[in-house]
Amino acid sequence: MARQLALFASAASPTILVGDRGDVTYIPEFLDREIADALVRELSADTRWRADSRLMYGKRVMVPRETAGRGEKMPQPWTPTLERVRAAVERYTGTRYDYCFLNRYRDGRDAVAWHGDRDGSRDARLIVASLSLGATRTFQLRPKKDSGLRHDPVSVEVTHGDLVIMRGDTQLYWEHRVPRDPRSTGERLNVTFRQHRARDGEMPSASELLAYADDAIASLR
């Protein structure tokens, strides 16, 4: 049975979701509603979304979400508000992000299956910061089958302005998904800030993140 995480934390009180052979931290309400709303409006008006398809069991089927890329070496540039948010995430996590992937979940029928955020042959330990915008959806993590871990899946409801940070060995030993939810009728945007290469030095620990919180959030106001 999945372990449900109560939404009791705040932007000044991150919650550890994974600590064994991985490092996943959940920060609810990282963005206040005004900034989150502005980012949704900007991305919705300015992003060219792509509907992908893939071959499954001999048939071509549509991927149940729309995607886009923005930032350095990507088809579309940063938007002004996205630049501000990126800077705040960088200050909070103590590292730099080069680009972002965008996922558009049009309603609860759109989803993403179990996977790890590993880009081809690149370093699996690159840091990923995942920002949720719009409708509330379930985000789940579980150990990979060959990880040797025996933990139950972790499940948390991520909502407008929440941030999830994945670092360390997470992509080597854990996978995550956003399952279908027939109850959800609203649109959700997911912004995953990513790196082309690893940066020198280590990202701060969860306890050290507290020292960044006030400055990072204040920079958006």
CATH number at residue 66: 2.60.120.590
Least confident of 8-17, 68-77, 123-132, 201-210: 201-210
Q: Please give the DSSP secondary-structure letter assigned to residue 21.
A: S
Q: Kindly tell me if the per-residue pLDDT of 133 is higher than 70.
A: yes
Residue 134: what pLDDT?
98
Q: Is residue 3 part of a domain?
A: no
Q: Which amino acid is at 152?
A: D
Q: Is residue 207 part of a domain?
A: yes
Mean pLDDT of 57-61: 75
pLDDT digits (tens, 9 = 90+) for 72-114: 999 999 999 999 999 999 999 999 999 999 999 999 999 999 9
Least confident of 30-39, 115-124, 174-183, 206-215: 206-215
C-alpha–C-alpha distance, residues 28 and 24, integer Å: 13
**In contact, 72 and 97? CB cutoff 8 Å:** no
Measured from the Cβ of residue 106, the count of other Cβ atoms closer than 10 Å reads 15
* DSSP class per residue in 122-191: S-TT--EEEEEEES-EEEEEEE-TTS---PPPEEEEE-TT-EEEEETTHHHHEEEEE---TT--S-EEEE
Q: Kindly tell me if the per-residue pLDDT of 205 is higher than 70.
A: no
Average pLDDT, the chain: 85
Q: Kindly tell me if the per-residue pLDDT of 195 is higher than 60.
A: yes
C-alpha–C-alpha distance, residues 135 and 60, integer Å: 29
Q: Is residue 28 part of a domain?
A: yes
Q: Please give the DSSP secondary-structure letter assigned to residue 10.
A: B
123 band by pLDDT with thresholds 50, 70 and 90: low
199 band by pLDDT with thresholds 50, 70 and 90: low
Q: Is residue 50 part of a domain?
A: yes
C-alpha–C-alpha distance, residues 216 and 218, integer Å: 6
Residues in the chain: 221
| Domain extent at residue 69 | 17-218
Q: Is residue 211 part of a domain?
A: yes
Q: Is residue 147 part of a domain?
A: yes
- Look at the chain and report how many structural domains it folds into: 1
C-alpha–C-alpha distance, residues 64 and 104, integer Å: 9
Residue 59: what pLDDT?
77
Q: Is residue 213 part of a domain?
A: yes
Q: Is residue 64 part of a domain?
A: yes
